[in-house]
Amino acid sequence: MPMIDRQGRKITYLRVSVTDRCDLRCVYCMAEDTRFLPKAEVLTIEELDRLCRVFVRKGIRKIRLTGGEPLVRRNVMALIAGMGDLVADGSLDELTLTTNGTHLARHAEALAAAGMRRINVSLDTLDPVRFQGLTRWGRLDQVMNGIMAAKAAGLAVKINAVALKGVNEDEFDRLVDWCGRQVFDLCLIETMPLGEIHADRIDQYLPLSEVRARLERNWTLKATDYRTGGPARYVEVAETGRRLGFITPMSHNFCESCNRVRITCSGTLFPCLGQEEAIDLKQPLRSSESDLPLELAIDRAVDRKPEGHDFVIERDGVPTVHRPMSVTGG
Ligand code: SAM
Ligand code: SF4
């Protein structure tokens, strides 16, 4: 039975945060002293595997693993191999990953071997000094090695870059050009008011409408009807032939076609990224060997999927949603 919510939206896409931990501290995502969950609260790899399989039985066709940084989770490759088997036997259409790329060089071949075809790598700048500043201590060369290893392993790479006022706003032409030459798609993301990060988000917020207008001075952006069911709206860059996506979560233009739900690494299901509404799946998962309580909890959650979100960046920088992206995984 497919999962269909009250608005008639078919839920086919699951994003799974496999850890809240990360080896970087991107300034818009985490505070330097972010505290992570105690181990006991985090689902084991076996529990995550079981949870994903229940969702697949309930009609999920696409899974994206995220975090925190998914590739810092010990034994995450066992989960990926297990999900890869579901792709191989046709129960799942696609398995993908969003990563910061720091550990990609080591894992790229295994990811491809597990049946992964595409990955998203987050990269906000091509400047090593800026990269270090933005991530607080990251090394650009490590990420570049990871990206090139992914490309060599045959994975299609999409680069995600968050648009930050006064930080990387002079780099978008360069990113479009670089992605074109590397044959990567690029997605630009507006900052979202999630989590407390000790910075005034109004200062970082850069509307993508402005970015797009500036890009159009140098590039021919052709309309496409390519859609993923998510918030991104895509154009094709005529000069490079690559797709360029704009994720503007502050606008409500995608909620009506939203096909996704998210689970955190501690087994909380969020039917909507932009609402506090949450349903605990850890208790039904841990309390019974039968999957029935879990299935009932998932049904209740889908039934409560909100019609839309209500992000607002307020002057005082108080986020409307208090959990950071590293918890729900973006
Ligand atoms: N660590 C992985 C990575 O960076 O790709 C996966 C998790 S990260 C939370 C997923 C995506 O969320 C990244 O592309 C990151 O840039 C984005 N992100 C994090 N905080 C954000 C925020 N406040 N607004 C917009 N995007 C954000
Ligand atoms: Fe880590 Fe990704 Fe958040 Fe950066 S955006 S701190 S890499 S989870």
What are the tens digits of pLDDT across the range 190-215?
A: 987 655 665 555 578 889 999 999 99
Ligand 2 binding pocket mutation candidate from 23, 25, 29 (most atoms within 8 A of CB):
29
Nearest CA to ligand 2 atom 3: 29
30 lines ligand 1 (CB under 6 A): no
DSSP string computed for 148-160:
HHHHHTT-EEEEE
Nearest CA to ligand 1 atom 15: 122
Q: How many Å lie between the centroid of ligand 2 and the Cα of residue 85?
A: 28
In the structure, what pLDDT confidence band is assigned to residue 283 with cuts at 50, 70 and 90? Answer: very high
**pLDDT tens for residues 107-135?**
999 999 999 999 999 999 999 999 999 99
Q: How many Å lie between the centroid of ligand 1 and the Cα of residue 324?
A: 9
The larger pLDDT score, comparing residue 124 to residue 308, is at: 124
The β-bridge partners of 160 are: 122, 187
Q: How many Å lie between the centroid of ligand 2 and the Cα of residue 26?
A: 5
**pLDDT tens for residues 8-48?**
888 999 999 999 999 999 998 999 999 999 999 999 999 99
Phi, then psi, of 286 in degrees rounded to 5: -85, -20
Average pLDDT over the chain reads 89
The token duo for 151 is: 């490309």
pLDDT of residue 203: 74
Cβ partners under 8 Å of residue 121, min gap 6: 98, 99, 100, 101, 104, 143, 146, 147, 150, 157, 158, 159, 160
- Count Cβ atoms below 10 Å from residue 154 Cβ, excluding itself: 12
Q: How many Å lie between the centroid of ligand 2 and the Cα of residue 191?
A: 13
Give me the long-range contacts of 181-185 (CB less than 8 A, separation at least 24): 181/240, 182/147, 182/151, 182/157, 183/151, 183/242, 184/151, 184/157, 184/158, 184/159, 184/242, 185/156, 185/157, 185/158, 185/159, 185/242, 185/243, 185/244, 185/245
**pLDDT tens for residues 162-184?**
999 999 999 999 999 999 999 99
pLDDT of residue 321: 57
- Predicted TM-score (pTM) of the model is 0.92
CA 194 to chain centre: 14
- Count Cβ atoms below 10 Å from residue 182 Cβ, excluding itself: 15
Q: How many Å lie between the centroid of ligand 2 and the Cα of residue 227?
A: 25
CA neighbor of 76 nearest in space, from 107, 54, 52: 107
Closest-approaching ligand to the CA atom of 30:
2
102 lines ligand 1 (CB under 6 A): no
Q: Which atom of ligand 2 is nearest to the CA of 326?
A: 8
Cβ–Cβ < 8 Å for 235, 176: no
pLDDT of residue 303: 84
189 lines ligand 2 (CB under 6 A): no
The β-bridge partners of 64 are: 15, 96
**pLDDT tens for residues 56-111?**
999 999 999 999 999 999 999 999 999 999 999 999 999 999 999 999 999 999 99
Ligand 2 binding pocket mutation candidate from 26, 72, 119, 204 (most atoms within 8 A of CB):
26
